Every structure is written in C-alpha cells, then in structure tokens.
Amino acid sequence: MMRLIRMWKSILDCHRRQFQAIVESKSQSLLVKTGTQRNSAAKVTIELELELLNWCSCFGKWVRIQKSYIEVLNGWLMKWLLQEKEETPDGVVPFSPSRIGAPAAFIISNDWYHMIEGISEAEVIKAMQSFAVSVHGLWERQDEEERQKLKAEYLSKDFTRRLRSLQKESGMHGHLDISDKTAISVSNNDGAFHDDRMMALDEMKKRLYEERAKHEETIKQVQEVAASNLRTGLIPIFEALGNFTFETLKGYEQVRIPDGSAGEKLDFTVIKKMTLDGYRLRAE
C-alpha cells in the first residue's frame, strides 16, 4: 500500500508540473500552416484528435482495470467472512471486517475497494473528450478554408480565361485587372462594347470577390480557434487530472493499515477457522 501511495504522489507531482508548464508557456497556440503546408497541417490536426481519443480511452481503461481488480479481490476475500447485518435506528450499518476481528488483509482490501469506488474519473474523461471535439472543429474549419481557397482559385482562373477569350473573339484590346472592383469594360477602336457575356463576366467578378472575402474570414476563424485550443483544451485536462490524482492519493492515505500488518501474509488457517465458524452460525 505504501508503494501505491508513493506512486500516486509521484503522479500528482508530475501532473502539477505539467499543468504549471502549460499555464506559464509563452506560446499557447497551434500553428496554422498556409500555402503548400496546409494539407500537412490538416493531417496533423486529425492525428492530434486521434491521439486525444486514444489517450481518453486508455485512461478510462486504466481506471476501470484498477477498480475491477480490487472489486474481484475484495469480493473473493469477503466470501470467507460471515457478514451479519447490524441494524440501528438509522438503518443497516455497512459491513466492516474490523468489527469481527478479521486479519489486516481483509480490512485493507475492504477499505481499498470502497475508497476507489468513490472516486470518479468522469471529469478527466469529459475534459479530454471536449478537447478532442475542439480539435475536430479546427480540422473542419481547416477543411472549409481549403475548399473555399480552391473555389476562389477556380473562379479566378475561369474569369481570366473567359475575359481573354472574349477579348480575342471581339478583336478588342483591354487591360485585365481583376483587382479593380469596378465594372469590367473592354474597348475597341469603335468605342465601348457591352453584351450579355460582359454582364456575365461582371457577375462572375462579383462572385469571385465574395468567395475571396469568405476565404479570408475562414482563415481568420481558423487562426482564432487554433490560438485558443491549448488554453481551452490542455489546461482543463491537466487540472482535472490533478484533482483526480489528489483525490485518489487522499483515498489511499485513508485506507486503514492495522498496526503490525506490514508484510503480513494471508493466514489460510485463520481464514478456514473463520469460515467454519460462519457455517456453524448459519446452521444454528
């Protein structure tokens, strides 16, 4: 039991240091890649989400295995004891091996079982899942930003191709400047020329600027989400881990270890006698 207490003290110290390091870190944002690095950034984001989900799953299994272990151990030990119900005006008193003089192993096991069952890992799981959801949201915005970028690039190329085609077909000479937000005009030697295709190009140019504006807004959203991800994600996780570890350590320190029980081994002769006494009492 003392080894377990030392282990949980080390874990608590580790989580506190991790929490402090994240709080005091100068850079608390996920890097948002642009240009040719964008696809790799989205891949890294997905990998981070999967790692978080795996972390959450492993932590949950680790806690459940501990609880299952002591539940089975305590359940097996309790089978050797006669558990008589003791009723009081306040109700039935929970069974305690110490009241019938059971060996220290029974007392420790029973305390251990009730202690560990009273500690919940739900807040840690919730914090991990919440961060995973946040990271997934970042990936969705990265994906949306990429699609909007491709759409704007396609519109820009299509607009340029159509305008040049119209200029060539009409034998006109015009200056192509899609950064100019005024209506498109193409002139020839005879003066201004407008037709349905020119109006269509004007509409296309408006859509192009709209798509570019949407793309810029999405980039801004991606950067905002990435900038807040670590603070809103990792900090609550390690805060919850610290609380969980502290409660677990406190529980282990409250497990009763009877005097002289250090290194005590189960005496099956005593267990057999207690079991036979229990059978006799049941028979009577």
Residue 39 resides in a domain? no
Residue 48 resides in a domain? no
Residue 62: predicted pLDDT? 95
Dihedral sign from CA coordinates of 113, 249, 127, 40: negative
Distances (CA, A) of 207 to 175, 201, 212: 20, 10, 9
Task: Write the pLDDT tens digit of every residue in 47-81.
Answer: 989 999 999 999 999 999 999 999 999 999 988 88
Integer Cα distance of 15 and 81 in angstroms: 40
Number of domains forming the structure of the chain: 1
Q: Give the DSSP H or E segment for 218.
A: helix 196-254
Is pLDDT of 131 > 50?
yes
pTM > 0.85: no
Residue 49 resides in a domain? no
Give the tokens for residue 240.
């919850």
Integer Cα distance of 97 and 112 in angstroms: 12
Question: What are the backbone angles phi and psi of residue 29, rounded to the nearest 5°?
Answer: -130, 150
The range of the structural domain enclosing residue 192 comes to 2-29+56-283
Q: What is the CATH number of the domain that holds 212?
A: 1.20.1270
Q: Name every residue whose Cβ is closer than 8 Å to that of residue 61 and which is 6 or more positions away in sequence.
A: none
